[in-house]
């Protein structure tokens, strides 16, 4: 037996916060129907998709930005609002791995503010890190990788205290899983007159279209225009446009999927806590195990039967919620740790 033969085939992908389920059936049919046309170029700047999202979100088309996932919109935003290493981008850390990458790509300077001991973004320390060079602040709500949230009052107070010259990128990639009416919605903040705000959403998570790379941003028409000038022509394929158009008309199907994931999140959170693991309260489709001493043992145990989880050495584990069978296997695998 070779070394390769001893490496288990990965059976359960619980590391990248993907949905464990394929696209909705109506979306799969729409994708199949458009395949005969993929020899044609898509629209230069995804104008039809912009109009579809605008109608769906009840905003002006001029307020919508489309990109390659929400991270694509975020990168366009940093290119539009920073201009070299003298400009700063501030965010809590640890956070989504792409934040430092896109800050570097834009040529700006990273300012990484430690999270609180409870895995929350420290808004007071972030405000204290703002300087005359700060151009953009990124907030993630719910937060990746901890799943924690910023409440409405705290977020509004933060925005009130922030200089109007600083743009806020509010990353709501996991908002569909929050299911919490008290959680602030970026679109509501925009409608209340917040002008220095860009709200990021994605079709990669709840909608199950991670492989098609489509996200969108919402902002004022002036800000959106500035960001859209950084768009890459032809970057949204016709397959992606078709899938998104079908997805936003299948809200009932989607709600069932989300309910299944959130039920499993609650079950897994309770089961892991009952077994002595420190698990933060999550409003996303994953759990954060705040176990710096035991995280590597958890990761090794899961790898043995072919379960991928996300290890942050010396910090913790981010565990994506999978199917009930996959989640049961995780619980059984780590039972003796």
Arch. (CATH architecture) of 3-22+251-333: Alpha-Beta Complex (3.90)
Average model confidence (pLDDT) for the chain?
94
- C-alpha 78/C-alpha 89 separation (Å) is 8
What is this structure's pTM? 0.94
How would you write 206-236 as a 3-class SS string? CCCCHHHCCEEEECCHHHHHHHHCCCCCCCC
Cα distances from 163 to residues 109, 136, 154, 170, 221, in angstroms, run: 19, 11, 16, 16, 20
User: What percent of the chain is modeled with pLDDT above 90?
Assistant: 91
**% of the chain beyond a pLDDT of 70:** 96
CB 265 within 8 A of CB 300: no
Tallying the residues shown for the chain, one arrives at 337
CATH 3.30.420.40 fits 25-247, yes or no: no
Q: Outline which parts of the chain fall under CATH 3.40.640.10.
A: 25-247
Give Cβ neighbours of residue 240 (< 8 Å, ≥ 6 apart).
42, 209, 212, 213, 214
User: pLDDT tens for residues 152-195?
Assistant: 999 999 999 999 999 999 999 999 999 776 688 999 999 999 99
Tell whether omega for the bond before 142 is within 30 degrees of 0, i.e. cis. Answer: yes
> Strands 134-140 and 167-171: what pairing?
parallel
Measured CA to CA, the distance from residue 138 to residue 152 in angstroms comes to 16
Containing 242, the helix (H) or strand (E) segment is helix 238-247
Q: What integer pLDDT is reported at residue 3 of this predicted model?
A: 44
Distance CA 32, CA 24 (A): 12
Question: How confident is the model at residue 181, as a pLDDT?
Answer: 65
For residue 266, pLDDT beyond 60: yes
User: Average pLDDT of 60-88?
Assistant: 97
Q: What is residue 11's predicted lDDT score, i.e. its pLDDT?
A: 87
Left (φ > 0), alpha (ψ -120 to 50) or beta: where does 193 sit? Answer: left
Q: Where are the domain boundaries for CATH 3.90.1150.10 in the chain? A: 3-22+251-333
Output the six-digit token pair for 220. 């004022």
- Give the pLDDT confidence of 41-55 residue by residue, as tens digits: 999 999 999 999 999
């Amino acid at each position: 037996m070779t070394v390769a033969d001893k490496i288990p085939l990965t059976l359960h992908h619980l590391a990248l916060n993907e949905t464990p389920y394929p696209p909705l059936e109506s979306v799969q049919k729409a994708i199949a129907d458009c395949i005969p046309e993929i020899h044609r170029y898509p629209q230069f700047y995804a104008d039809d998709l912009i109009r579809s999202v605008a109608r769906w979100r009840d905003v002006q088309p001029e307020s919508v930005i489309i990109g390659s996932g929400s991270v694509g919109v975020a990168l366009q935003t940093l290119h539009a609002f920073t201009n070299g290493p003298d400009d700063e981008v501030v965010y809590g850390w640890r956070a989504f791995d792409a934040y430092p990458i896109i800050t570097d790509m834009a040529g700006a300077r990273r300012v990484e503010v430690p999270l609180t001991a409870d895995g929350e973004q420290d808004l007071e320390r972030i405000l204290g890190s703002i300087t005359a060079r700060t151009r953009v602040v990124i907030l993630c709500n719910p937060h990746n990788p901890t799943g924690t949230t910023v409440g409405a009052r705290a977020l509004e107070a933060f925005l009130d205290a922030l200089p109007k010259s600083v743009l806020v990128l509010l990353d709501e990639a996991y908002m569909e899983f929050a299911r919490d009416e008290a959680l602030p919605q970026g679109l509501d903040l925009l409608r209340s007159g917040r002008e220095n705000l860009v709200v990021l959403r994605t079709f990669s998570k709840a909608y199950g279209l991670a492989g098609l790379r489509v996200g969108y941003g919402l902002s004022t028409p002036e800000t959106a225009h500035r960001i859209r000038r950084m768009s890459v022509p032809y970057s949204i394929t016709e397959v992606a446009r078709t899938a998104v158009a079908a997805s936003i008309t299948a809200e009932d199907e989607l709600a069932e999927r989300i309910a299944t994931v959130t039920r499993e999140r609650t079950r897994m959170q309770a089961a892991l806590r009952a077994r002595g693991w420190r698990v933060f309260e999550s409003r996303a489709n994953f759990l954060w195990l705040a176990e710096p001493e035991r995280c590597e043992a958890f990761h090794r145990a899961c790898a043995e039967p072919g379960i991928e989880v996300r290890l942050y050495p010396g910090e913790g584990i981010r565990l994506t919620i999978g199917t009930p069978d996959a989640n049961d296997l995780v619980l059984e695998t780590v039972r003796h740790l």
